[in-house]
Amino acid sequence: MLSEQADCYNSINGPRARGRSGTGQMHEVRVSAPEENTQQIVDLALHVGIPQATVYEVFVHGPNQRKRVVSVETSTPRAKAFIDALFAADWFDSKRYSITMRELRAIFSHQSARELTPPMFEPALEVLQDLWQLNHITPGYVARAAGAAVLMAYGMFQNSASAIVVAALFLPFLSQALAIGFGCWARDRALALQGGKALLLSTIVSIAGGALVAALYRGPFLYDHFEGPLAAFAISSIIGVAAGLSTADDAGRRYMIGVAAAVQYAEIPIWLGTRIVLGIPGGSLLIQRLGTFAINVVTMIVVAAIVYALAGMRRGEVKRLETAAMRSNTNATAAPSRDIVDPGAKRPAQRT
């Protein structure tokens, strides 16, 4: 894409001086649109309270057409309001518009830090794609799950808190449960199924890791900090609330919540793997542990789904994205135009 010129609009004076002021804010949202529809997007941005919007022209190779990009840099809540307004607009069509979002770390502008730094809430589109990225099953995913399971199993044999915590830092359980919860709330069957597959894989790998360490180590299993069903329900509820909110805002240390969730989830599958090698315990203990694991998983999923619903994320935004993607995939079967458009043809005169 070739940038040609930029204009900056604000909510008071209309078009401002060409170029950007160099300010950076907490989210940047870029909307690529046909030239004739730019003003609608700018008006929408200003209407939701974003102080200014930058517009610049680009040439898109492939479809060989000129477009304009509307770029806004703003706080997380206003970025969400802008995205929500775009998806609610009757004229918005993903075949003609595209949206990208970026997190920005710091700003220097006329707005105060208090105005720009509220972390809640993220657009549902951003949460959706973040959860998709974390739930793709790749060789790296399997390797992380296997390495963490082996390390955590060793830590449980030794009752070593340091080994257990380090393993929990990269053991994939939390994002998988959140994907199921978000998918159920948004009625996104594909995401819920993907999260379920990833969670099942993590569970199987954890069982296998426990069995492997038990077969090699054969030492006494010293870890005995298993919670009962009621305590497990309470802890998983707290983790579910914290985890759901952590994916919906920009604040906090999300990896610390992941540690708590991983320990809560993985301890029972790893214990089960060790018992397969060392001997299955009596029926009542086995049923209690398996029931506790089910309580952990279901509680986390349900509580996270409730948090997403209460956070104000629009279910229709996800549904509309899916519908638009399906239409685009259907239309992609048509042969694209191969007319060559000269990027230099009919180039608008540069302003002075």
The pLDDT tens digits for 311-342 are 766 666 566 555 555 544 444 444 444 343 44
* pLDDT at 20 (0 to 100): 34
Backbone angles phi, psi at 277, to 5 degrees: -85, -45
* pLDDT at 336 (0 to 100): 44
Q: Which residues pair with 100 in a beta bridge?
A: 30
CA separation for the pair 196, 116 (Å, rounded):
37
Report field, pTM of the whole predicted structure over 0.85: no
Which positions ≥6 away from 154 have C-beta within 8 Å?
160, 163, 213, 217
Most confident of 32-46, 63-77, 125-139, 291-305: 291-305
The band of 255, judged by pLDDT with boundaries at 50, 70 and 90, is low
Give the Cβ contact number of residue 160 at 10 Å: 17
CA separation for the pair 226, 272 (Å, rounded):
12
pLDDT of 266 above 80: yes
* pLDDT at 152 (0 to 100): 93
Coil, strand, or helix at residue 249? strand
Torsion of CA 197, 147, 169, 206, to 10 degrees: 50
Q: How far is the CA of 11 from the CAs of 118, 153, 220, 332, in angstroms?
A: 21, 58, 69, 38
DSSP 8-state class, residue 336: P
* pLDDT at 113 (0 to 100): 61
* pLDDT at 214 (0 to 100): 93
Q: For 126-312, which CATH class?
A: mainly alpha
Domain coordinates in residue numbering, the chain: 6-120, 126-312
User: What tokens appear for 326 in the block?
Assistant: 């399906």
Fold of 6-120: Alpha-Beta Plaits (3.30.70)
Largest CA distance in the chain: 84
- Rounded to the nearest 10 degrees, what angle do helices 174-186 and 315-331 cross at? 90
Q: How far is the CA of 132 from the CAs of 13, 168, 179, in angstroms?
A: 41, 21, 7
The pLDDT tens digits for 125-137 are 778 878 888 899 9
What is the CA 57 to chain-centroid distance, rounded? Answer: 30
* pLDDT at 186 (0 to 100): 84
